[in-house]
């Protein structure tokens, strides 16, 4: 089977100045080419090289020959592959077709990039396909996305420190005042000092709530899991602005315009990374010789076709026409060395593309730049995993609660908060499992996710394996899922979970929802 001249035509001119390459050499080149190559005719594979066999996990290309080409295509992409092949086979010989990305299935599933050429093989139309394994590229792109995400978080550091230090200042001073006054209190002084003491406590509580909200907003950026959810763009844009505002507000006026927009199916952390990058770029758009203050307008609305849209516009120096076509290219930057990586907009486009959206830039020199991001609405039947209880009327029941946490101060504070219930507190997963073997009568198990030795994941998995149903009574309490395993358990487990610190105003609703959820699985 000579792949050097599959049509059998003898049209090589001996008088050519270029030496003719023997077919045996061409055969060896194709056989040993580092990318996968195959030819399929009438739906059957008639040639495959060694690289393709290795890519799909086969010891020999004989395992591929005469198999149906469609057997190698991932079921989700089979229809489009068949349509493409039907169009390609009726094209003129030597027609090359645009590169496509498809998943192939052999002994392993492989993400590939495929380039197709229409040829003649043994007197009939066939398709020659060059297959490139995208695994290494996808891993590299993932690393680049993560590097850019962490760079974006680094951009927030000074602003976050400022935002936290302000409420922390009055929390510390008010608590210090309360500690100072406690030894001096007696029956006579309590009445006189009570208004001031209550005010100090209230201010401290407000400061802690402000810090909690800042941490919650920051988690939008630091989550590394990539699970899709129903995302309200106004909420993500709002959180991003709160985090970025301190770093950019002294150099720009920020104007927001929020209209109704459909929820989208995406990952909030990834979108926050996009919005932060666009805001930082806009804040750097001012020119030293421009008069007037830089204004950044951030809007959320719905396109006429029903898609969700975010626009970030500035009245800065703009982008020159010769630069504008290159702004999405990886590593392209006009910033000084050490200031920009050139990855920001490239990563943004990759993220938006992943969620079926599109991103575009319009710019005029000395007039400003507008970046538009459009995403399709989430499918009506898309139901992400619930992570908290919906607000509703609360029944003030008394529950038996097992509280599991390795931090003694957390245990003490939670016991105070839950004092109207029957609470048993243990300081680790091993102790919890041992207790549950003897006493399975707890209504709720409030379990910290990240603990040394026996983690909350271990407790959940061992209870689930025992088959007694106790795993359904677990509510995960977490300060952050910082490992891949924790993220995986939270993504797959149906249990409720709540971020620390738990909101005292919602604790009774949380308990009621947890009990109802556990009973619903019985």
Q: Are 274 and 345 in contact (CB under 8 A)?
A: no
Highest average pLDDT, of 196-200, 236-240, 461-465, comes from 461-465
Tell whether 287 is covered by a domain.
yes
pLDDT of residue 288: 43
When pLDDT is averaged across residues 300-317 and rounded to a whole number, the result is: 94
If 0-12 CB within 10 Å is exposed, 13-18 middle and 19+ buried, where does residue 217 land?
buried
Q: Is residue 345 located within the same domain as residue 430?
A: no
pLDDT at 482: 62
pLDDT of the residue at 149:
60
Mean pLDDT to the nearest integer, 53-60: 91
Is residue 6 scored above 50 in pLDDT? Answer: no
CATH number of the structural domain spanning residue 109? 3.30.450.20
Q: Tell me what percent of the chain is helix, strand and coil, each rounded to the nearest 5.
A: 45, 20, 35
Last residue of a domain, one of 133, 149, 175: 133
pLDDT > 90? residue 90: yes
Query: Number of structural domains, the chain?
Result: 3
| Backbone φ/ψ region at 467: left (φ over 0), alpha (ψ -120 to 50), beta | left
User: What does the pLDDT average to over 420-437?
Assistant: 93
Q: Examine the domain organization and report whether 191 and 215 are in the same domain.
A: yes
Tell me, what's the pLDDT at 349? 85
What pTM was computed for the model? 0.48
Question: Of 26-30, 195-199, 394-398, 418-422, where does mean pLDDT reach its minimum?
Answer: 394-398
Query: What's residue 144's pLDDT?
Result: 64
- Residue 403: pLDDT band by 50, 70, 90 thresholds? very high
Q: Is 233 in the same domain as 190? A: yes
Residue 196 has pLDDT above 90, yes or no: no
Residue 381 lies in a domain: no
**C-beta separation of 387 from 497 below 8 A:** yes
**Claim to verify: residue 126 and residue 153 sit in the same structural domain:** no
- pLDDT for residue 114 is more than 80: yes
Window from 66-75, 172-181, 308-317, 424-433 with minimum mean pLDDT = 172-181
Question: Residue 374 and residue 301: Cα distance in Å, rounded?
Answer: 10
The burial class, CB within 10 Å (0-12 / 13-18 / 19+), for 475 is buried
Residues 125 and 170 placed together within one structural domain of the fold: no
For residue 360, is pLDDT > 80?
yes
- Is 108 in the same domain as 160? no
> How do residues 323-338 score in pLDDT, each as one tens digit?
888 888 765 566 554 4
Task: Yes or no: say if 49 and 30 are a contact pair by the CB < 8 Å rule.
Answer: yes
Predicted confidence at residue 430, as pLDDT, reads 94
- Residue 383 is assigned to a structural domain of this protein: no
Provide the pairing of β-strand 109-121 with 124-133: antiparallel
Residue 111 domain-assigned (yes or no): yes
Average pLDDT, the chain: 81
Report the distance separating Cα 277 and Cα 221, nearest Å.
12
- Position 11 pLDDT exceeds 80: no
Among 131-135, 226-230, 260-264, 510-514, the range of highest mean pLDDT: 260-264
Q: What's the pLDDT score for residue 223?
A: 54
The answer to whether residue 219 sits within a structural domain is yes
Cα gap 130→486, rounded to integer Å: 40
Rounded Cα distance, 36 and 30, in Å = 9
Percent of the residues in the chain that have a pLDDT greater than 70, as a whole number: 78
Task: Check which CATH number belongs to the domain holding 511 and give it.
Answer: 3.40.50.2300
Is there a domain that residue 424 lies in? Answer: yes
104-108: Cβ within 8 A, 24+ apart: 104/55, 104/56, 104/72, 104/73, 104/74, 104/131, 105/56, 105/71, 105/72, 105/73, 105/74, 106/55, 106/56, 106/57, 106/58, 106/64, 106/72, 107/56, 107/57, 107/58, 108/56, 108/57
Q: Assess whether 308 and 448 both reside in one domain.
A: no
Q: Are residues 115 and 149 in the same domain?
A: no
Q: Which pLDDT score is estimated for 280?
A: 81
What's the confidence (pLDDT) of residue 300?
Answer: 96
Main-chain phi, psi angles of 453, to 5 degrees: 65, -95
The answer to the question of residue 16 being in a domain is: no
Hey, which residues does 114 pair with through a beta bridge?
100, 131
Q: CB–CB of 331/342 below 8 Å?
A: yes
Residues 117 and 168 in one domain: no
pLDDT of residue 394: 58
The last residue of one of the domains, among 108, 133, 158, is: 133
Identify whether 18 is part of a domain.
no
155 pLDDT tier (thresholds 50, 70, 90): low
If asked whether residues 154 and 228 sit together in one domain, one would say yes
Model confidence at 162, in pLDDT bands (50, 70, 90)?
A: low
Question: What pLDDT, on a 0 to 100 scale, did the predictor assign at position 391?
Answer: 43
Same domain? For 159 and 253 the reply is yes
Categorize the per-residue pLDDT at 14 as very low, low, confident or very high, splitting at 50, 70 and 90.
Answer: very low
pLDDT surpassing 90 at residue 47: yes
Are 146 and 182 in a shared domain? Answer: yes
Per-residue confidence at 340, pLDDT binned at 50, 70, 90?
very low
pLDDT of residue 98 exceeding 90, the answer is no
pLDDT range class, residue 247, cuts 50, 70, 90: low
Domain with 198 in it: what CATH number? 3.30.565.10
- Which domain-ending residue is among 87, 109, 133? 133
pLDDT at residue 311, rounded to an integer = 96
Q: What residue numbers bound the domain in which 35 lies?
A: 23-133
Highest mean pLDDT among 75-84, 193-202, 216-225, 481-490: 75-84
Give pLDDT, residue 116.
Answer: 95
């Amino acid at each position: 089977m000579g792949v050097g001249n599959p049509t059998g035509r003898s049209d090589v001119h001996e008088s050519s100045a270029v030496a003719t390459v023997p077919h045996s050499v061409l055969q060896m080149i194709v056989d040993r080419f580092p990318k996968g190559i195959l030819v399929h005719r009438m739906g059957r594979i008639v040639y495959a090289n060694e690289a393709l066999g290795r890519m799909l996990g086969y010891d020999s290309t004989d395992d591929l020959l005469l198999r149906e080409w469609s057997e190698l295509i991932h079921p989700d992409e089979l229809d489009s592959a068949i349509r493409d092949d039907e169009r390609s086979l009726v094209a003129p010989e030597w027609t090359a077709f645009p590169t496509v990305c498809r998943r192939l299935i052999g002994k392993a599933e492989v993400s590939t990039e495929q380039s197709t050429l229409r040829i003649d093989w043994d007197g009939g139309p066939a398709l020659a396909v060059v297959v490139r394994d995208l695994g290494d590229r996808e891993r590299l792109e993932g690393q680049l996305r993560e590097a850019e995400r962490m760079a974006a978080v680094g951009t927030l550091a000074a602003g976050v420190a400022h935002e936290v230090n302000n409420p922390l200042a009055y929390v510390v001073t008010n608590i210090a005042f309360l500690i100072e006054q406690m030894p001096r209190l007696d029956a006579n002084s309590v009445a006189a000092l009570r208004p001031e003491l209550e005010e100090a406590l209230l201010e401290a509580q407000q400061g802690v709530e402000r810090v909690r909200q800042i941490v919650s907003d920051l988690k939008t950026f630091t989550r590394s899991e990539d699970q899709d959810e129903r995302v309200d763009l106004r909420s993500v844009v709002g959180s991003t602005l709160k985090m970025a505002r301190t770093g950019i507000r002294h150099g720009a006026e920020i104007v927001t315009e929020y209209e109704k927009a459909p929820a989208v199916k995406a990952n909030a952390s990834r979108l926050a990374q996009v919005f932060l990058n666009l805001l930082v770029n806009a804040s750097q758009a001012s020119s030293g010789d421009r008069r007037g203050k830089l204004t950044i307008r951030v809007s959320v609305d719905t396109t006429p076709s029903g898609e969700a849209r975010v626009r970030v516009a500035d009245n800065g120096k703009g982008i020159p026409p010769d630069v504008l076509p290159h702004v999405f290219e990886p590593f392209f930057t006009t910033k000084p060395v050490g200031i920009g990586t050139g990855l920001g907009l490239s990563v943004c486009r990759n993220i938006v593309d992943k969620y079926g959206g599109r991103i575009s830039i319009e710019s005029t020199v000395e007039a400003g730049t507008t970046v538009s991001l459009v995403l399709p609405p989430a499918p009506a039947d898309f139901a992400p995993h619930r992570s908290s209880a919906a607000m509703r009327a609360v029944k003030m029941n008394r529950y038996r609660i097992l509280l599991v946490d390795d931090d003694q101060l957390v245990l003490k504070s939670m016991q105070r908060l839950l004092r109207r219930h029957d609470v048993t507190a243990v300081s680790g997963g091993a102790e919890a499992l041992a207790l549950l073997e003897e006493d399975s009568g707890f209504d709720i198990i409030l379990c910290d996710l990240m603990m040394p030795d026996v983690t909350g994941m271990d407790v959940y998995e061992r209870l689930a394996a025992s088959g007694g149903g106790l795993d359904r009574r677990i509510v995960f309490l977490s300060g952050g899922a910082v490992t891949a395993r924790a993220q995986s358990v939270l993504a797959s487990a149906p249990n409720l979970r709540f971020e620390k610190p738990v909101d005292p105003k919602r604790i009774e609703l949380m308990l009621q929802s947890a009990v109802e959820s556990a009973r619903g699985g019985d």
